[in-house]
Amino acid sequence: MQQQLDNISPVSILSLLETDKAQRQSFAAQVMRSIDEGSVNPLLIHLQLKCTESLIKAISETPEYKKALLDESAKHGKSFYFHNAKIETKEVGTKYDFTQCGDPIYTRIAANKDIWDEKLKERETFLKNVPESGLQIMDDDTGELITIYRPSKSSTTSIAVTLK
């Protein structure tokens, strides 16, 4: 078995995943069916998915991969079809650096925003620690005595995986 695996390259394994939308949906449905039938452990599937995500990230985030991808894509133009996909080269994630504008009004607003963000964070920490029964405080603006309560809290249960 190990000898068979030694003859399989990573690229040939990736080629197994060249599928169209219907094939991917069928694949996912088959995996879910196996889980529902109890023939596969969902923890194993989750681990395999997390490993796959880690591999995708390890490849797709390297500068060399990004450069090679852009270089190859440039040979075909801005938009083209490749196998079962439309490939487009376009600008994404546009960011602006307003600190270089030299605008004093922007600078003042940004400084005040930082102050207000910190004050808001402090108030949120305070509110998280308000007693369950509430707390009476005086509203400085209106002079009114009001009762404040803890914020509602919600969460989602999930499985955390740390790959070794």
**161 lies in some domain:** no
Do 45 and 64 belong together in one domain?
yes
Taking only the tens place, the pLDDT of each residue in 142-159 is 999 999 999 999 998 887
Do 40 and 109 belong together in one domain?
no
Number of domains in the chain: 2
**164 lies in some domain:** no
Taking only the tens place, the pLDDT of each residue in 75-122 is 999 999 998 889 999 988 899 999 999 999 999 999 999 999 999 999
Do 78 and 33 belong together in one domain?
yes
Residue 1: per-residue pLDDT:
55
**Chain centre to alpha carbon of residue 37:** 30
Do 83 and 103 belong together in one domain?
no
Q: Is 77 left (phi over 0), alpha (psi -120 to 50) or beta?
A: left
Taking only the tens place, the pLDDT of each residue in 106-116 is 999 999 999 99
Do 64 and 128 belong together in one domain?
no
Q: Which domain holds residue 134?
A: 98-148
Do 6 and 36 belong together in one domain?
yes
3-state SS, residue 148: strand
Residue 5: per-residue pLDDT:
63
* Rounded Cα distance, 162 and 164, in Å: 6
Do 83 and 118 belong together in one domain?
no
Taking only the tens place, the pLDDT of each residue in 18-72 is 888 999 999 999 999 999 999 999 999 999 999 999 999 999 999 999 999 999 9
Q: What secondary structure letter does DSSP report for 85?
A: E
Q: What is the pTM of this model?
A: 0.69
